[in-house]
Structure 1
Amino acid sequence: MKGLEGVEKVVVIGLGMTGLSVVNHLLRLPQVLDIKVIDTRDAPPGREQLPASVELCSGEWQMAWLLSADLIVASPGIALATPQLVEAANAGVDIVGDIELFARAVSKPVVAITGSNGKSTVTSLVGEMAKEAGIDVGVGGNIGFAALDMLAQQHDLYVLELSSFQLETTASLQLKAAVYLNLSEDHMDRYPGGIEQYSQAKMRIFDHAELAVYNRDDLATRPEFSGAMASFGFDSAQYGLITFGDEEWLAVDGEAVMPSNDIALVGRHNVANSLAALALADAAGIGREAACRALRRYNGLAHRCQLVASQHGVKWVNDSKATNLASTLAALNGLALPGKLHLLVGGDGKGADFSELQPVLRQLDVRLYCYGRDGFLFQPLADDALAVETMAEAMAIAADDARSGDMVLLSPACASFDQFPNFMARGDAFVELAQQLQHRVGKGS
């Protein structure tokens, strides 16, 4: 395998799904390696799946192993600034991550996605576009399958979601295309240099890309890049939007592709995500017709602006993962409906100030359904606000009041713990009720 010439001793830092994928990948190689694992947790997940031939040190660091290694493979959650890794690096030990091992082994085309928000949606969407085109595609990285586990399946195309943590330890990933979706503050505890250091880690995605795709509406994502570049945004340039007839259309270089209202994903941010996905699909050789079929069909990841029911002209959308104000704002910004928005908010507010929602709500024809422990905090934000005890009660009232062109949206801006074990359980309950209630829309009680 290229890149591991002369390597005999490998130490894997961190077990779990990623660490196990590294160990299994190294064991599949024809060369015989001395593989050891360090995990500072006393009972690391996955230890029972570790082959007997691989020694595990748990609950502490084992510096003798690190300093005698030819290669250290660190899990993304382990910062390179960790003193033990700094000591090993200063001793001349090479430190990489699982994506770097993937880069050294993969022989088929790869596209990759990074950004502060929307990575999982765009990654999944490009995967759906490839499947629609009949391409054997592997989708993973920071989502779903570990990248190295996918190599054993020998796919014809790989679509990777990559975090800044993964990119820190990746140096040779060759990509057909890479996209940097957007930038906002996150993981500042990992980056003492602030948002600039965080962004520079994400910019590493472009280092060996044939095509760099950035967001025209967030120029912090534009790299200093000497190769081919493309961009997406809400104007008419490159991957953008045009008015065709009386409708807004997705367009490429001014040529109409499909109406934006035909996208199954909900929310203005998902129009931008769809444009980014189109750019990657074109670079990967995915046919435009197949890409558009996927855009019309793919209704999103569970609990993230996911269309779960549609009948009598009313859409029911599950955005249960919106457990904070920023997530709900993302769902609402730029939302355009022919009818009324029935918005379900509330739960465990975690002490947040929700007043920032008010200007956005004023731009919408909206009725607020305020439920749960902190639902009362939302009532002053809209004139048409209704206080109820539970989400189920809110949904029943919305079903009776909704008419064609309306949307019933669960985007609660709160955690779920007052009434549900987690946001997944809350979303699942919404889906089940929506599928029951959609049939009585507009019939009254």
Structure 2
Amino acid sequence: MSHSALDKWQNIEKVVVVGLGVTGLSVVNYLQNLPQDLSIKVIDTRTQPPGQESLRSDVDFHSGSWRTDWLLDADLIVTNPGIALATPEIQQALAQGIQVVGDIELFAWAANAPVVAITGSNGKSTVTDLTGVLAKSVGLNVGVGGNIGVPALDLLADDVDLYVLELSSFQLETTSSLHLAAAAYLNLSEDHMDRYQGMEDYAAAKQRIFMHADKAIVNRDDRFTYPNNDIPTVSFGFDEQEFGVVWLEAQEYLAKQGQPLVAVEELSLVGRHNVANSLVALALLESVGVELTAVIPALKTYTGLTHRCQLVADNHGIKWINDSKATNLASTFAALSGLQLTGKLHLLVGGVGKGADFSSLAPVLNSLNVALYCFGQDGDEFMPLHASALRFETMEQAMADISTKVKQGDLVMLSPACASLDQFKNFMARGDEFTRLAHYYANQIE
């Protein structure tokens, strides 16, 4: 442990961890492996929280309610991102001058390699994963985690050249000393209003990513993403400035300062949002000294996070896209916005609609060369949206029909705008079944 990390732990003997689950367990395990002899207590207000069976017998554990006496006796409280700082019990501890942090703050005390981080309302998981994949493609040892995949503290167990973290607004609330080589703020849209007093409150939490950043990666089309403090900025967007796009001989390219890097049509990722996501990943990597031309081959072959606009088959010029994670209208709308088609889009929609009004999809559908395939419990809700709509009981029946119609240049996409629980265990199972069928039918087409 570095001297600066040791300094942070001076005078800390009693630690209370609030909230178990994957993150809470990673905190407990990390604390137990520190050289200090710490007294560790864990509180979870759920009666049967996940992970309690993994706690060692020497850890005091209380479930089902708060233990204010434990909190007020602590030197340090490490709280789960799911616990709002506004919670009265946490506020009582803060009023007593007790330090309250999250797992990312503990990570910040110990990390000794460069860190880049990504926040935003939408797209941050894809940017985080893509940045990690591209960095690994040029031989860097990379730790990828945070709000996606591996808890940040677990990443400290390995020697790495670069950390890539996805950070939620909840994690940023309890983080105050994270030094970042670059911080990307992708966008801001209304979310988590049950946790925040309003958009300004939510935006302020996101702004914390810039507190100790050397560089800000910002969205030219979203002024909320610009830092309030005075640090260098690099922007991304859909014009020719900085990280953007250029048109050459009727072809669109990702570009830096107007210089083309790779043609958009050479990317395996689909959708306008993924053009932006790719630009952010490139900007982040350049900020830590990675040569951009070296990562272009990996960028071309990157197919996306599983179940999120993921290319799962490409045969005879027909692409099959698994966007099963689109369990609501907004996600499907994002997937369809800016789709660039050379042929027809065969779109699969339906499942459990959760009472949503899908009529706002009609204009975007009418702007596309699309055939609509409606299935599942609430498939009828989509039938009035487009003249091409066909009704099926199951996704498999719909895909069997699609397989007889697709031609070179067509795109088959599952972006259902609905939950999956009428016919599948979860959206992952639905996406896996789509992928299985896509491979089957793609191989049948001659």
TM-score, normalised to structure 1, is: 0.97
The 2-side partners of 1:272 and 1:320 are apart by 21
**Distance apart, 1:422 and its partner CA:** 1.3
SS in 1 for 2:320: strand
Of 310-319 and 244-253, the range deviating more from structure 2: 244-253
Deviations 1:294-345 (A, max 9, x none): 2111111111000000001000000011111100000000111110000011
Q: Aligned pair 1:129/2:134, yes or no? A: yes
Partner of 2:77: 72
**Residues 193-208 of structure 1 aligned to structure 2 (within 5 Å):** 194-208=198-212
Aligned residues: 441
Corresponding residue of 2:176 = 171
Give the letter for the 2:193 counterpart.
M
Aligned to 1:355: 359
8 Å CA contact 1:400, 1:440 repeated in 2: no
1:108 to 89, 107, 113: 113
Equivalent position of 2:368 in the other structure: 364
Contact persistence 1:2–1:104 (CA under 8 A): no
Distance, in Å, in 1 between the alignment partners of 2:443 and 2:81 is 46
Question: 1:104-161: per-residue Cα shift (whole Å, max 9, x none)?
Answer: 1101000000000111100000000011011000100001000001101122210000
- Indicate the larger mover: 54-63 or 284-293: 284-293
Q: Which of 423, 428, 435 is the aligned partner of 1:419?
A: 423
Cα distance in 2, alignment partners of residues 7 and 121 from structure 1: 37
Deviations for 1:412-434, whole angstroms, at most 9, x for unmatched residues?
A: 11111221121111111000000
Alignment match, 2:259: 255
Unaligned runs of 5+ in 2: 1-5
| Matched AA of 1:196 | E
Q: Among the aligned pairs, what percent are the same residue?
A: 61
For residues 214-238 of structure 1, what are the alpha-carbon distances to aligned partners after superposition, in whole Å with 9 as ceiling and x for unaligned? 1111222112231110010011110
2:440 matches 1:436: yes
Mark the runs of 5 or more structure 1 residues left unpaired by the alignment.
Answer: none
Any idea what the Cα deviations from partners look like across 1:227-283, whole Å, max 9, x if unmatched?
Answer: 110010011110000012221000011111100111211111111111111110111
Q: CA deviation at 1:291?
A: 2.3
- Alignment pair present for 1:13 and 2:2: no
Q: Which one-letter code corresponds to 2:309 in the other structure?
A: C
State TM-score, norm by structure 2: 0.97
Name the SS of the counterpart of 1:210 in structure 2.
Answer: coil
1:403 paired to 2:407? yes
Q: Is the 8 A contact 1:2 1:105 kept in 2?
A: no
8 A contact 1:338–1:405 mirrored in 2:
yes
Decide whether the 8 Å contact of 1:129 with 1:286 is kept in 2.
no
Amino acid across the alignment from 1:402? V
CA contact (8 A) 2:207 2:228 kept: no
Matched AA of 2:286:
D
How far did residue 290 of structure 1 move? 3.4
> In structure 1, what is the equivalent of residue 3 of structure 2?
none
Matches of 2:338 and 2:111, distance apart in 1: 40
Q: Distance in 2 between matches of 1:2 and 1:131?
A: 33
* Aligned with residue 185 of structure 1, among 174, 182, 190: 190
CA contact (8 A) 1:339 1:404 kept: yes
Greater CA drift, 291-300 or 162-171: 291-300
For 2:165 and 2:81, the matched residues in 1 are separated by 15
In terms of mean alpha carbon deviation, does 293-302 or 104-113 score higher?
293-302
- The alignment partner of 2:133 has SS state of helix
